[in-house]
Amino acid sequence: MTHAPFPGFAAADLAFLTGLAVNNDREWFAAHRAPFDEGLKPTLVALILALNEALEARGLPLAGHPKNTVFRIHRDVRFSKDKKPYKTHVSATLTRDGQKMSPGMLYVHIEPQGGSKPAFDPQTIDPMDPSTFPSGDDSDAGYSGNGPFAAAGFYLSERPHIDAFRRAIVADPKGWAAVETALASKGLPLEPGEPTKRMPKGFEGEAGGPLEAALKRTRWLVRRDLTGAEIGGTDLPGIITGFAADARPLLDFGWKALRP
């Protein structure tokens, strides 16, 4: 099915997010929400639909849904010291099964270039924004507030999945080295990955070896920063799809590792 071309995110709509960062309260949001409802939300949906087509054309088994894989702008403030009610970005994921947090995802994060300092809600967690987790701390800048970006890989929260990924690295060290080499060749170093301080249980024998750093990770992700011009342009779906293609070795390795 062909959809209307992606128009790019309008500067005036992005300015709403800048204003929200300064006036993060329900009254301001209610009085100024038109750019969100009429601009940001439909443009994000248009981006998802355009990405679905572009990813399919490149043979990448990732897709998003206009409702199921879009994150709410409302924050869950129950576990946060920061009680601001709204995020100051819009975001969505694209996965193999169209579920929001399925392992092996493409994540798209849209906010004005230069960013703003915004802030887990079981239904609205942003995988690249630690300040939205229950243990979030305002002192942790995380990934939000620094501008738009796309990320791809494995944001894993369940220990069985994390250990399955680790076992795959131990079982195929050459294959994992090839993944790291392929990513590096595209200028995509792995993100820090929330490493453990000690060798994880069951992998102590790898301490001091070449796989130690990879096995201490709990997340395996790469990221591409986006510019204001890119998110405002019609080529954004192609740019993000190209990034996803560059990250394909990581996605394929992880999907194989987590295969039932």
Mean of the per-residue pLDDT values of the chain: 89
What is the per-residue pLDDT for 78? 82
Between 244 and 260, the more confident residue is 244
Share of the chain above pLDDT 70, in %: 88
What is the per-residue pLDDT for 130? 52
CA 137 distance to own-chain centroid = 19
Q: What is the distance between the alpha carbons of residues 14 and 228, in angstroms, rounded to a whole number?
A: 10
* DSSP track, the chain: ---PPP----HHHHHHHHHHHHS-SHHHHHHH-HHIIIIIHHHHHHHHHHHHHHHHHTT---B--TTTTBPPSB---TT-S---SB-SSEEEEEESSS-TT-SSEEEEEE--TT-------TTT--TT-GGGSTT--TT---STTS--EEEEEEE--SHHHHHHHHHHHHH-HHHHHHHHHHHHHTT-PPP-----SSPPTT-GGGTTSTTHHHHH-SEEEEEEE--HHHHTSTTHHHHHHHHHHHTHHHHHHHHHHT--
Between 37 and 2, the more confident residue is 37
Share of the chain above pLDDT 90, in %: 80
Task: Provide mean pLDDT across the span 158-186.
Answer: 97
Task: Provide mean pLDDT across the span 193-209.
Answer: 96
What is the per-residue pLDDT for 125? 54
Task: Provide mean pLDDT across the span 218-231.
Answer: 97
What is the per-residue pLDDT for 123? 45
Task: Provide mean pLDDT across the span 85-113.
Answer: 95
What is the per-residue pLDDT for 116? 56
Cβ proximity of 75 and 85 under 8 Å? yes
**Which of 15-19, 123-127, 189-193, 198-202 has the lowest average pLDDT?**
123-127
In this predicted structure, the answer to whether residue 211 has a pLDDT above a threshold of 60 is yes
91 phi, psi to nearest 5 deg: -160, 165
What is the per-residue pLDDT for 144? 57
- Beta bridge pairs of residue 219: 155
What is the per-residue pLDDT for 127? 59
158 phi, psi to nearest 5 deg: -100, 130
* Type of residue found at 102: S
Residue 96 burial (CB count, 10 A): 15
In this predicted structure, the answer to whether residue 119 has a pLDDT above a threshold of 90 is no
Query: Which of 74-83, 118-127, 187-196 tops mean pLDDT?
Result: 187-196
Task: Provide mean pLDDT across the span 181-207.
Answer: 96
In this predicted structure, the answer to whether residue 115 has a pLDDT above a threshold of 90 is no
219-225 and 149-155 strand pairing? antiparallel
Q: What is the distance between the alpha carbons of residues 207 and 170, in angstroms, rounded to a whole number?
A: 12
Q: State pTM to two decimals.
A: 0.88
